[in-house]
Amino acid sequence: MPIHTLYPAERGNLRLSFEYFPPKNDEMETQLFQTVENLAAFNPAFVTMTYGAGGSTKARSLTAVRRMIHEAGFPNTAAHLTCVGAAKDDVDAIVSEFIDGGVRHFVALRGDPQGGIGARYEPFPGGYENAAALVAAIRGRGDFEISVSAYPEKHPESPDVATDIDMLKRKVDSGATRALTQFFFDNNDFERYLERVRRAGITIPVVPGILPINNLTQVSKFAGLCGARIPEVVVARLAHLDESPEERFKEATHIAAEQIVDLARRGVRDFHVYTMNRSPLVAAVCDLVGFERAAPAAAASRAAGAAA
Ligand code: FAD
């Protein structure tokens, strides 16, 4: 058995979640909801919808989240929310809009500084100073699930991993119930990080973020910005395949599937997959790992249940 596929007994209690971003136009919206429908077959435990720092996608995120909950059949859609560059009242108003729209799960984030990743972060006057403060505010509104970020290779602004874990602890003490990690490609980084997190007394689930590499150039650029490392061995497997899309797709599928299988064999049960709003690669990875697909009828009844 190749190492990118789990034995049936190993995959029984694994759970997936999928991350999407709000569409910018009608064409992207069609693509998003087609992707959501295609991936619904894998029966994700929850899905999440990102939010542009500073509220740049506020209306689009709200619309997409409402549609996920009420039309696409995902009542467990988590709304990302950032607090950077906004006054508390404005953030609180958005929380209310999400709650009114049916949201029961938030991904509470500070967001990148307004000058972009690498710029100096300044709390907004009268705003929430960081993600921990936002978590506390959402917790004050009710019994919601609150996920937060975590960084196995540390956040670029952080002087060291210990500082990063302190921040995670503050978020947990404020009411966070789950951490979703930045993507990473070396499972040893995740395992070492998780050991330190547990030693710090943090007991919430820490769910690894998996990014199947659709486009190595784009992912390398993004990884550079957010402090994630792409191991040489991964680069070597993909870099020469630029001109061979089919081979590249196959190799990218194997890389992500191997990562998931290895994590599962290290005891990980939950996987948060960055979909980039596209289903073919993510579906191929899930199939290769051995995640079961629900019958089309089950997916249809999910959507019908939402519409009822
Ligand atoms: P925090 O948890 O508040 O801080 C992040 C890190 O910065 C800390 O761990 C700490 O190391 C360091 N830090 C912060 N304050 C201090 C301090 N005072 N002293 C020392 N160190 C400090 N961005 C979006 O715009 N929209 C999204 O929807 C979105 N979704 C995301 C989902 C996930 C799962 C992840 C991992 C990231 C996401 N991001 C998103 C990116 C995120 O907004 C950025 O990484 C941002 O720079 C930090 O936000 P945070 O919530 O992690 O901040």
Q: For the segment 176-214, what is each residue's pLDDT rounded down to a tens digit?
A: 999 999 999 999 999 999 999 999 999 999 999 999 999
Atom of ligand 1 nearest to the CA of 272: 34
Cβ of 110 below 6 Å from ligand 1: yes
Atom of ligand 1 nearest to the CA of 182: 36
Q: How much distance in Å is there from the Cα of 299 to the middle of ligand 1?
A: 34
**pLDDT more than 90, % of the chain:** 85
With CA atoms as reference, report the closest residue to 82 among 149, 168, 8.
149
Predicted model pTM: 0.95
Domain architecture of the chain: domains with CATH = 8-289 (3.20.20.220)
Q: What is the ipTM of this complex?
A: 0.96
CA–CA dist 223, 19 (Å, integer): 17
Q: For the segment 97-151, what is each residue's pLDDT rounded down to a tens digit?
A: 999 999 999 999 999 988 777 778 888 999 999 999 999 999 999 999 999 999 9
Cβ of 208 below 6 Å from ligand 1: no
Atom of ligand 1 nearest to the CA of 154: 11
CA atoms within 13 A on the CB side of 98: 32
CA–CA dist 42, 36 (Å, integer): 10
Cβ of 302 below 6 Å from ligand 1: no
Q: Is 19 an annotated catalytic residue? A: yes
For residue 174, the 8-state DSSP code is T
Cβ of 147 below 6 Å from ligand 1: no
At residue 191, the pLDDT reads 98
In the set 10, 19, 122, 251, the catalytic residue is 19
Residue with tokens 């519409």: 307
Show the DSSP H helices in 101-160 as ranges. Answer: 131-139
Cβ of 164 below 6 Å from ligand 1: yes
At residue 1, the pLDDT reads 47
